[in-house]
Amino acid sequence: MIKDVSQKILCPNCKHETSLAISNPYRPFCCQRCKLIDLGAWASEEYKIPTTSQTQEWEEKDKE
């Protein structure tokens, strides 16, 4: 059986203290709202994963 760890962390979005326990369905967020705000930021490309110049060259070739 897996123990329900009740470590306290800060929500990455609103900075409220929240539980990292398995019973928290929104972990590492404190609530569904914060989880959806983060998802929206990814969807609107506010967060980006750095790419190499080689990838950018491929994209330019695809446009031609």
H/E element, 60? helix 53-63
Contacts 24+ apart (CB under 8 A), 15-22: none
Question: What range does the domain containing 49 cover?
Answer: 8-56
H/E element, 8? strand 8-10
Q: Is residue 17 part of a domain?
A: yes
Model's pTM, two decimal places? 0.65
In CATH, what number is assigned to the domain containing residue 34?
3.30.50.10
**Which is more confidently placed, 57 or 25?**
25
Residue 54, classified by CB atoms within 10 Å of its CB into exposed (0-12), middle (13-18) or buried (19+), is: exposed
Q: Is residue 1 part of a domain?
A: no
Q: Is residue 64 part of a domain?
A: no
- pLDDT digits 0-9 by tens, 9-51: 999 999 999 999 999 999 999 999 999 999 999 999 998 888 7
Number of folded domains that form the chain: 1
